[in-house]
Chains A and B, each alone.
Chain A
């Protein structure tokens, strides 16, 4: 995100004047204005976002129950424990699955839906509003509703049985082999609308002339979509994928609320974030919890940087803008 936005930053300047039109430096008055304008935001951001991340790096080297000043310095012991803990491996594996499955499930579904809704049709705007509703609802509400509906004798199984699909009725939540797929179902339901909205916005920036020209050349609907819409939608898809990956790595709320206390061990849906909370805060091991936070931070950051370097970089050109 940084790279694209920064280019936007440069490209969006209204007049392409030389970099510094007046090279007489900025006066103290203007410096004061800048300080007054940016100071409060910087202070808050550094204080409550940057500083805690640094603090985690510090606390992560201690065995510490969260009271007083940490004194029991243990070096990299916490990190060694994390790397060796089978529960963490499991959480990491689940996160990996969620990252990949989110992309593989939500991407194509959202594309098909966006193509569908991009057709000329009545009531398009109301449909857009409605498919976005799950995205706006709180995770807690989503979790409450789905965990009630997915109980063995809940609404989902009831509907399946009543239409004669008894064999599809499952113990959706408690079966550890199935739980990750149940989670994916809920995640897809909640977040696919966001992808659809993004893709639709991207599609509507593609000039109609291109499609008309393709039609004149005798291209079929699908050929047009494959050769024109999809390639031009590339930047939007890549940004969406980035957001999806980051979100999947940090997934917490839905898992923690639906599977709650089972998450730690047997439910088959634990994530790094739920591991962090249950092994850190809930167990009272704040030093350890902070070390997990550091690991989560580095994993997210490395993936984000690699993604920006290799995938988003090509969008850092004016053509990536709409």
Chain B
């Protein structure tokens, strides 16, 4: 009787060759369904481009913005996508530093999502300004007239935070890809793919020295990216917290936004991972265990967010500040009560259902909850931005906001844009981290137990070991 050793995370993956096979299987010619989805995404992007051009040519009046509500769906969507972009770095960098072995299978997906989400988000500050053709004035470009941007403005901090985050997460994403692209290069038979992968692999040959440098570089980059997880969304939150608008001017905004970002990011990972696992038949890699862990992360962040909601209301009451109290009262009883309540329900209450193992382990239910959280997190940003502006200090200018057509189209287009990149990624770059998944698989032995198995096929015992870095290193 032979004993076969498997990773507890990937019990269905027998050995390294499985990983190579499964990861490279995706890098093939796409089917009709894929192309249809991609077409939809591109059309959405096209519509958004038309809508944006309408905004530019005719003026921002095309959007539904009003005088007190100067920021609406555009900034809401910006914050939403920046938030989505958080889970990737959290999973890839922070969990890497903490040596959480369940990260290996999903981090590539999450990281790609991060990069694409930030690319999406970065469009919105340009889209939303009144004269987008002058957006470069926000950058500290040397100017003959020595005109610098205003370093006191949170919007400028935002520019720095988002560009930094985009740079670091892209580099991190790319560095991590190098060995896997090299593996794809070696396995692909399509000539143009081979050419592209050859360029992208930067001549990776998998020598020990390369591996040594690579792991160091990756570690440093992970350490560099980790503070960004906290800083980016803190800075984005300061767009609001530094102002004096009641409902924005709150000290808890930075941690509150970070927690919210992780909540929405994890939810988006789940939203993407569930169909990917089903369509691309990656059950062996994205296992129930992964989803279980992510559900727990979701519960944690949802609870933090719920605490922040409660704390906001407590502070509004405790401060005895008329304007603050009015704004928060207005959020749940005023014209936007539906948005306020859907935010609380979707983000703080519904995710709590994941405490029940039955729901947590039911992927369909989890998928549904993740979508609800995604919607809820968009509403959260909406509720923070719009009702606060619609109901601030000056009563004469209490006026509501209704989303305009171009805003709605551009919002849809941002999803098209994001998923367009996501779809391209799925077919052109290895979704599974070939190298890192191998780290938690039992290493191939000279005398492979499978050889023994072949002798007595009837008798088979699979022993699952909680393999991971520690086990790996101990070996």
Asked if chains A and B come from one complex, the reply is: no
Instruction: Identify the B interface with A (CB < 8 A).
Output: none
